[in-house]
Amino acid sequence: MVDIIAILESHSIEQLSLSNAHQQYLLVEPGRKVEAQSIATHIGGGGLNTAVSLSRLGCRSVPFVKTGKGANRSHVIEHCELNKLELDGLMVAENGKTGSAVMIASHEKNAAIFTQRGANTMLDEGDLAGISLETFDLVHAAPLSGDSAAMLPAIGEKAADAGAFFSSNPGIRQISTRANSVLGAARHMSLISINEVEAAALVPCLSALDSALDWGVPKPGEPVLKSEGGPIPMRKFCETLHGHGPGHVLITAGADGAYLFNGEDFVHQEIVPAEVAGTAGAGDSFVSTLAWGLKSGFDADKALLLAAHNASSVVSHVNTTDGLLEKPDLLERAGLA
């Protein structure tokens, strides 16, 4: 994705908060020209953000991403070369444009995003047929858009055939429209990473697959997942999803941190405080670092700690990759050097 990021001073744009619905909106007067603190263009997208993260951690990193033919493809190539990413996986859509997005950040810096996904939606079976994963130890599938989302089970099978650690963070659009596809791919996953909203969207599908499933009643003080049917124990949700294949289940919970279940332990990681410049890319940094940490042999609590520190560094920068840490710096920040 080509990301155009506009940072606005809080006083230049109005914020509306709905306390009961826990929703916020940025309001701008029609026809008004708003002065921005900064407007900058960066290269992002879940696939490339993850690839850069793994490269900073010392891995040979190959992004399999699809772009259009125009000038924006050149910017993507330049970004890959700058971050020591191999170019073998760059595909081109003959009739598509490179994905792009406009992010408007103000107040809490949690950006509103206007996106045109373009070639990101055009991954197909022919593309996958030309991809070999035999030399990779870790394969990560970032959120897939449009028709590309149908390729997740096939990617999982390829990763499993290669004997790779397979990580995925399917987004809310994938889960909402292709939940069965996500769960079909889950049997190949070493790690599935979702947030609370995405987890809640999976609850009806998991319930439908097992008519005898009883979510139980949360005990006082235990972490809960807020589903449409009411709160359910978060650990019970993780155990249920784990039963469909993923070796590790991660749920990110915003300011409440993150929870990881590995079949035995249910581990909580608090956020690492940071002065927030922008939240874009935080999830990609967290998930990629966690997957790398688990694959590298770190215990669950240490892998989570590393992930939290990398995400904290990312949110202290406006774009999605400037804050990603090199391995020695990350280990030192987490106290694991």
CA atoms within 13 A on the CB side of 45: 28
* pLDDT value, residue 29: 78
Count up the domains in the chain and report the number. Answer: 1
Instruction: Assess if residue 240 is contained within a domain.
Output: yes
146: left (phi over 0), alpha (psi -120 to 50) or beta: left
* pLDDT value, residue 327: 97
> What are the residues whose beta carbons fall under 8 Å from the beta carbon of 102, sequence distance 6 or more?
3, 4, 6, 113, 114, 115
List the CATH number of the domain containing 234: 3.40.1190.20
Low-confidence ranges of the chain (pLDDT < 70): 20-22, 107-111
* pLDDT value, residue 37: 84
Question: Rounded to two decimals, what is the model's pTM?
Answer: 0.90
Instruction: Assess if residue 12 is contained within a domain.
Output: yes
Q: What is the per-residue pLDDT across 122-181, written as a single tens digit (0 to 9) for each? A: 999 999 998 999 999 999 999 998 889 999 999 999 999 999 999 999 999 999 999 999
Instruction: Assess if residue 50 is contained within a domain.
Output: yes
* pLDDT value, residue 211: 86
* pLDDT value, residue 161: 95
Instruction: Assess if residue 337 is contained within a domain.
Output: no
- Print the domain residue range for 322: 2-26+35-332
Is the Cβ–Cβ distance between 89 and 65 less than 8 Å? yes
